[in-house]
Structure 1
Amino acid sequence: MDKEKEKETAEFYERLKTELDRSNTWPAEYLFKFIVPSINDNVLKVEDAFNCMGAVIKTTKSKTGKFTSISVDVTMKDAQEIIDKYQELATIKGIVSL
């Protein structure tokens, strides 16, 4: 990743953290939404990332079956935990965080 992209990513997460802290009292319920290609074990990777956290996970395949949307409703302890989770899942090839 080039320096400019790294800077943009860091600024994005800093703004997200500020916004989350301003709009929530921690711990708080948070709804993660992702779209992943329906190949390999992408859905399983997302589900495993929330294992043992008491998350409610819903998955829906696209009409063509090429993509799967994943909604994860879970209690998070603070904004940094949310950001850490987004960064952890960003390693999945083709994932889109909404």
Structure 2
Amino acid sequence: MNVNFQNLNDGDNLNKDDFYVKFKERLDDVTSFPADYTFKFIYPTSEETMNAIKGIFVKANPKYDYKASKNRKYTSISVQIYALDSDQVIKFYNEVSKINGVIML
């Protein structure tokens, strides 16, 4: 899959690998790991999708927070973990990116 990511600060279109390289640099600049880290995702409401997301984080002792949209068509999920380093954060984003229909915030 060839995905383009928009770098919000300078407008460059980046491929997925380049995006994660820059993202890792920014994470390391702004976060002192180990630290609490919160992931936020939006997905079309589906128990299957929710379970797929939760399955990725199961070994990380996560805390979840959910919120359904007004018409319940979409659900947002926040997943908080104690992340050891930026590589772990990126690994989780990579795994979630494989789930169809999930928007990563």
- Normalising by structure 2, we get a TM-score of 0.83
**CA distance, structure 1, for counterparts of residue 65 and residue 54 of structure 2:** 10
Q: Across the two proteins, how many residue pairs are aligned to each other? A: 97
Percent of residue pairs identical = 31
**CA distance, structure 1, for counterparts of residue 18 and residue 79 of structure 2:** 25
After superposition, the C-alpha distances for 1:34-85 in whole angstroms (9 at most, x for unaligned) are 0011135001111111113121101111111111100011111110111110
> Gaps spanning 5+ residues in structure 1: where?
none
Residues 1-98 of structure 1 correspond to what in structure 2 (within 5 A)?
Answer: 1-2=1-2, 5=4, 8-98=15-105
Moved >6 Å (runs of 4+): none
Deviation larger for 11-20 or 45-54:
45-54
Deviation larger for 82-91 or 45-54:
45-54
Which is bigger in relative contact order (C-alpha 8 A, separation at least 6)?
Answer: 1
After superposition, the C-alpha distances for 1:7-49 in whole angstroms (9 at most, x for unaligned) are 6111111111001111122111111000011135001111111
- Show the counterpart of 2:9: none
Q: RMSD of the TM alignment (CA)?
A: 1.8
Alignment-mate amino acid for residue 15 of structure 2: E
- Normalising by structure 1, we get a TM-score of 0.89
**CA distance, structure 2, for counterparts of residue 39 and residue 29 of structure 1:** 27
